[in-house]
Structure 1
């Protein structure tokens, strides 16, 4: 794959009839009155970056809403990737949209998150997209209070109501990050790195980051075994609880690089900024997370990705084609089977590990020949070719 496939592209195409004229006019070729002289009609794919983050609706109502996770909206990672899906679906279907950031930033409470969801519903939202597992408690209350509103819980899972039954108006959309992490760890060691680092967000309580990290360890160990080498990995949740950049995190990463670490998997939103700053100062390498972060720093050799934007578009489409019941109240987990996780082969700077080798590995996971363990409670085990240093 020269580029990761778009998640469930055929399903998305089936609902695009809702907005064929939404992005600047009719795409139907004009009648040919001068056969043989006209150039074929062309269309240009809209980029999320071309869509403004703020818009003003004519009636003051906003149909699609996004409630952010901790960190910045434009974090070049989880929040931004999710928001891009909302904007793209809105743009393609001529819908109004708005984002809401809970009060108190990184110190936001469940009440702060609930108030953001309430503001979205009061503002006219038919669908509210909520990013991050920290939304659970507020989302449960909002879904109970507003049963006619659909909620999409990204990096989430089914939420039970007071009757202990799943709330049918909440769709929990998760990813198999362990697969993407595995690909990144395997690629790093095949590239030639033997001293690795993992710096994770959420303080070790974020399931998505935990899956990324555990997959990264498994992939690195597998590649080391294949090459018959021993590798070391620093593995830490310190300074990542808020997913934010900080001097303390940069100092830790700087110490790792100075002690011999060659590449660090920066797994946590704006934490990326601290890791890349330390890498730049020490001629180190970085692996990005969630989206392709290669454009953000020349220290990035690849990124462990999940197709956040496409998954959000797919989920929103189910609201409007009346198939939301397929994902509401049930667990949805997207992985290689849906081409929803992987590495960006068209932008990575790996030179020893080839795209062909990656594609072969990807196919093994896809056809079940290779299984990646998702139970990160198994992290602290003995590995054949990897020494894990947890802090």
Structure 2
């Protein structure tokens, strides 16, 4: 037992500098040594996707390869890893069947080579930092990858148009739906907690004029707009007719100027969609007696301070999507539902799912006391409203239209759509 204990303590994910994977198959150990102590993804397993005894014995190897950050980041990497852990634990797989590679110093090629040399079939790649590195690696190593039957599962970026048919499943998220939930809930919350109309206000900004940040904001504003159409006298408004979608994703003069501008508007609730901008907003003195909304994951678990200001986070179900897709691919069950369009060796799949599949959602509030209870009640109202949306309203939500009316114009891009919504909400 002392020898086993020593071995366990020495185990770790792949550090690219070391160039090797830990191979673990200890029957007396039930929990993967790299399982995070704090679980963040909330993955729901599905008995219908469980492997047979024969499939468990012959299961191919799967691996999460981080996007350059740490594995246990309480964000993208960890969420994908928790999805794979859920699959492994549900099927009692030995640890040599599923693992994680933590990329150091942006040495993606070394990580990919190690995965290839160690016989991993399913490579789970969370985050768009993989795009350039995998594009080059795939072009240079396609023959070897095909020989070993490698299938790429790309998360939050589309690689299906770059890989040969049957080599890739790409996962995207309908974040407008999560944004809508947060927006409608914000309307319900602010209308009950803020008696002064001047405090029933919101603001936002984004890193670039792209669907990535834009869909969060567009969905959020549409949720508020929908609330306003149903609740005369309790409307929530914007503090500006236009939204800055040019802040970039790293701290600097451009982001600083945008944050200063947004906070000067004195909106009661702020939605930053620009990488490190959430931390930047929280660090400002002017962010006082206000609420914030995170994106991608439950950002209240990541920040170092002011967690109690988080109304919610608009989340992507990275762990759930990982579990669903890996389970379907390896079990061969319900491929039409969880890997729609994919055919091994024949067709790639581009998946884009939303709230009903648990691929997007909203995180629990961190607001304390009675206001926290009101926020939680607002979330339930928003979920019920979303579940009962008519088809025409769902089509509006997922379109580039700002107005609900049938036949209203489609805007050309995120900037134009969001500005139109912001003007509709402005007062």
Regarding TM over 0.5, the answer is yes
Find the residue that maps to 2:202 and give its secondary structure.
strand
Q: Is the 8 A contact 1:77 1:289 kept in 2?
A: no
Provide the rounded CA distance (Å) in 2 between the counterparts of 1:159 and 1:232. Answer: 40
Provide the rounded CA distance (Å) in 1 between the counterparts of 2:218 and 2:45. Answer: 29
Q: Is the 8 A contact 1:195 1:231 kept in 2?
A: yes
Find the residue that maps to 1:260 and give its secondary structure.
coil
Give 1:363's aligned residue: 387
Gaps spanning 5+ residues in structure 1: where?
23-61, 105-111
Instruction: Evaluate the alpha carbon distance shift between residue 344 and residue 330 of structure 1 in structure 2; reply closer, same or farther with a 3 A threshold.
Output: same
Gaps spanning 5+ residues in structure 2: where?
1-40, 191-198, 343-347, 401-411
Q: 1:210-261 CA distances to partner (integer Å, 9 max, x unpaired)? A: 32222122222222344444423563344443xx567974675355334312
User: What is the aligned counterpart of 1:377 among 408, 413, 418?
Assistant: 413
Tell me whether 288-297 or 149-158 shows the greater mean CA deviation. Answer: 288-297
Find the residue that maps to 1:89 and give its secondary structure.
helix
User: What is the aligned counterpart of 1:15 among 50, 53, 67?
Assistant: 50
Q: Is the 8 A contact 1:68 1:79 kept in 2?
A: yes
Give 1:219's aligned residue: 223
Q: Is the 8 A contact 2:124 2:152 kept in 1?
A: yes
Provide the rounded CA distance (Å) in 2 between the counterparts of 1:280 and 1:64. Answer: 47
Q: 1:36-84 CA distances to partner (integer Å, 9 max, x unpaired)? A: xxxxxxxxxxxxxxxxxxxxxxxxxx94322333655444333332232
User: What is the aligned counterpart of 1:311 among 315, 321, 342?
Assistant: 321
User: What is the aligned counterpart of 2:374 among 340, 344, 351?
Assistant: 351
Give 2:103's aligned residue: 101
Provide the rounded CA distance (Å) in 1 between the counterparts of 2:253 and 2:414. Answer: 31
Deviation, structure 1 residue 149: 0.8
Find the residue that maps to 1:171 and give its secondary structure.
strand
Provide the rounded CA distance (Å) in 2 between the counterparts of 1:344 and 1:182. Answer: 13
Find the residue that maps to 1:282 and give its secondary structure.
coil
Correspondence list, 1:290-309, <5 A: 290-296=296-302, 297-309=307-319
Provide the rounded CA distance (Å) in 1 between the counterparts of 2:103 and 2:426. Answer: 40
Q: 1:120-155 CA distances to partner (integer Å, 9 max, x unpaired)? A: 223432221112234334434545341211110111
Deviation, structure 1 residue 315: 1.4
Instruction: Evaluate the alpha carbon distance shift between residue 9 and residue 80 of structure 1 in structure 2; reply closer, same or farther with a 3 A threshold.
Output: closer
Deviation, structure 1 residue 21: 11
Find the residue that maps to 2:283 and give its secondary structure.
helix
Find the residue that maps to 2:393 and give its secondary structure.
coil
**Pairing 1:136–2:123 present:** no
Normalising by structure 1, we get a TM-score of 0.69
Comparing both structures, which one devotes a greater share of its residues to helix? 2
Correspondence list, 1:117-196, <5 A: 117-143=112-138, 144-145=142-143, 146-147=145-146, 148-157=149-158, 159-161=160-162, 166-192=164-190, 194-196=200-202
Aligned residues: 329
Instruction: Evaluate the alpha carbon distance shift between residue 219 and residue 19 of structure 1 in structure 2; reply closer, same or farther with a 3 A threshold.
Output: farther
Q: Is the 8 A contact 1:6 1:339 kept in 2?
A: no
